[in-house]
Amino acid sequence: MAIGDVSLTAAMRSNLVSLQQTATLMGQTQERLATGRRVNSALDNPANFFAAREHTQRANLLNGLKDNINEAIQTVKAADKAVTAITKMIEGLRGQLTQARTAIGDATSSGDLLEGITSGYNEMIRQINNLQQDSIYKGLTFLASGTVLTVNFNETSTTRLVMSGFDGTASGLGISGGTVSGYGGLASGDIASVSGIDAIESSLNFALATLRRESGTLANNLTILSVRQSFIVDMVNTLVEGADKLTLADTNEEGANMLMLQTRQQLGTTSLSLASQAAQSVLRLFG
């Protein structure tokens, strides 16, 4: 029906407009109470809506980076556990060398004893290499010299940590396998001679120093990753809180508004009824 098809009195028209405005406000208030937000679209408040969306989008991007940091932390932890295990293996190698020294100093010892010690020594060397191979996490290990892992800390990739691996094999650490071809008079480097044992023990000391240095690097990287992980969690919470402050509704206030609008609607309906009484009185003339 077009406007003007039905003639209303000025009082009725005023009350009708008031009721329509009240119904619109009630619809907005109901939406805010249902969603818990006072800004549900750009029409409600363009500035707050787009600012909140930007905060939320950045929070989502940072959450994705947090997952990558978690994986990097686990990779570092896997490498650190392998370094600890290899260090224990090297201490075991020291034990083998101690036995070899004792056997060399004992005139009653046989070459078979040294061969058995050497066999145990070489088995530990193989196990060190096995530990290096088994330290892989999600296809990566920091006990390999070619490993490079870059972890980004922000959504624009302008802050990052680049971590490199090292050769964690026995040969990479400078540890050589033991040899024995007889008892006495063997070349330097063989377990059957004191000078050879001294040389091997020196290489073990060098390997332990390398592992301590690399363990320190892993610990530093782990600290950086853990701190950045906590920072990202705090930053995401800050961004979400900022977005909420721009868009969330005060449910107490909106509840009070709803009660007032319902009262206003009832009064408007009553007022419209009163305004129409003048027109209804005309019907009495025909009663």
Q: What is the CA angle 38-41-47, rounded to 5?
A: 80
- pTM higher than the cut 0.75: no
Share of the chain above pLDDT 90, in %: 39
With 90 as the cut, is the pLDDT of residue 161 above it?
Answer: yes
* Residue 234: band (very low, low, confident or very high) from pLDDT cuts 50, 70, 90: very high
Q: Compute the average pLDDT of residues 66-71.
A: 92
pLDDT tens digits, residue range 12-62? 677 667 777 777 767 777 776 777 777 777 777 788 888 888 999 999 999
Backbone angles phi, psi at 10, to 5 degrees: -60, -40
* Residue 186: band (very low, low, confident or very high) from pLDDT cuts 50, 70, 90: very low
Q: What pLDDT is recorded for position 248?
A: 66
User: Where do the structural domains in the chain lie, given as residue ranges?
Assistant: 10-36+249-284, 48-246
Spatial distance between the Cα atoms of 96 and 93, rounded to a whole number of angstroms: 5
Q: What's the fold here for domain 48-246?
A: f41 fragment of flagellin, N-terminal domain (1.20.1330)
Which carries the bigger pLDDT value, residue 86 or residue 114?
86
* Residue 181: band (very low, low, confident or very high) from pLDDT cuts 50, 70, 90: low
Alpha-carbon distances, residue 257 vs 26, 48, 246, 267 (angstroms): 8, 22, 20, 15
pLDDT tens digits, residue range 111-154? 677 778 888 888 899 999 999 999 999 899 999 998 999 999 99
Q: Compute the average pLDDT of residues 210-235.
A: 95
Q: What pLDDT is recorded for position 134?
A: 93
Spatial distance between the Cα atoms of 227 and 235, rounded to a whole number of angstroms: 12
Which carries the bigger pLDDT value, residue 90 or residue 108?
90
* Residue 253: band (very low, low, confident or very high) from pLDDT cuts 50, 70, 90: confident
Q: What pLDDT is recorded for position 17?
A: 73
Spatial distance between the Cα atoms of 67 and 84, rounded to a whole number of angstroms: 26
Q: What pLDDT is recorded for position 3?
A: 57
Q: Compute the average pLDDT of residues 264-286.
A: 66
* DSSP assignment of 30-94: HHHHHHSBS--STTT-HHHHHHHHHHHHHHHHHHHHHHHHHHHHHHHHHHHHHHHHHHHHHHHHH
Q: What pLDDT is recorded for position 111?
A: 66
Q: How many CB atoms sit inside 10 A of residue 83's CB?
A: 23
Share of the chain above pLDDT 70, in %: 78
With 90 as the cut, is the pLDDT of residue 227 above it?
Answer: yes
Q: Compute the average pLDDT of residues 238-261.
A: 77
Spatial distance between the Cα atoms of 183 and 116, rounded to a whole number of angstroms: 13
What's at 258, amino acid-wise? Answer: M
Q: What pLDDT is recorded for position 284?
A: 61
